Amino acid sequence: MNKSRLWKVLASCCLLSGLFLQNASAQESHTVEPRTIVLKRNAQDAANIIGVSSTQSIPESRLAFKAMEQYTPTLERQLNAQGLKLGDPILLRIFKVPALLEVWVKKGNQYVLFKTYNICQFSGKLGPKLKNGDRQSPEGFYNVPASALNPKSSYYLSFNLGYPNEYDRFHGRTGSLLMVHGECASVGCYAMTNSRISEIYTLMYRAFKNGQKEVQVQAYPFALTDNNMRKMQRHSSYRFWLNLKEGYDLFATNHKMLTVTVDGTGKYRFRSN
């Protein structure tokens, strides 16, 4: 099998989404390091588009700026209507069922639900990703830094969830480059469509530009209520979900950012900030 055909067989949407494909030689190596793209445009023009300095080291592209320019006015109006502003700290919650992504924005010392987006497609079934190639979308708690933004994704715009995290590595789970991205096709990722990822990307970018270090993503199979958990007692992932429920319940109680660690037995531990 020639090299070109081998690449087509092995590539997945998430691998493509996670790499900054700069040229043909980069595609052959399959290992392209993300870098900050410096736009050759007037710095003041860039600041006018997004309302912040363009000098911070966050991955950027003309496509990303164009998307942010389009969606910033609408987001600002919607945020202002709730007493919020673009650039406030955010966190995300994902629910495989009923395929929703929530954006929460910090207001005072708590987070409030700002907007809910339909997930166009995720792959696999209920339960966490366990190994490379299982086509499962991750479940768990992930902290996304600014460097995880991909403004030149093969699926429009994307960000890397950070799988495997400390918990995943403790349990021997494998795989990489699991994304939340545009379009509506997924092999282990969460596909949002281009318009939805544009809004989410803009909210994340502006929060990072305003000083937020990481955006927490809480990825759940479904709302981990007592009633839902009773219905799923026979599921093979039930014990794992019980551990996730500890974080789910704590956030539901006080709507504060979670500090998430992994103890010596490989369990998530949670406390509120």
How many other CB atoms are there within 10 angstroms of residue 100's CB atom?
A: 16
pTM above 0.85, yes or no: no
Distance CA 272, CA 265 (A): 21
Active site residue 235: no
Say if strands 214-220 and 90-95 run parallel, antiparallel, or are unpaired: parallel
Q: 43: pLDDT confidence band, cut at 50, 70 and 90? A: very low
pLDDT at 7 over 60: no
So what's the pLDDT on residue 38?
30
Is 171 a known active-site residue?
Answer: no
Cis peptide before 128 (omega within 30 of 0): no
From the candidates 30, 189, 235, 255, give the one annotated as an active-site residue.
Answer: 189
Vertex 142, ends 137 and 145: CA angle to 5°? 120
What is the CATH topology of the domain spanning 3-221? Answer: L,D-transpeptidase catalytic domain-like (2.40.440)
Q: Which of 14, 181, 235, 255 is catalytic?
A: 181
Burial group, residue 9, by CB count within 10 angstroms (0-12, 13-18, 19+): exposed
Token pair of 146 as six digits: 């600014």
* Cross-strand partners of 260: 270
Q: Which of 209, 180, 196 is nearest to 90 (CA)?
A: 209
**What does the pLDDT average to over 208-221?**
98
3-state secondary structure of 120: coil
Over residues 168-182, mean pLDDT: 96
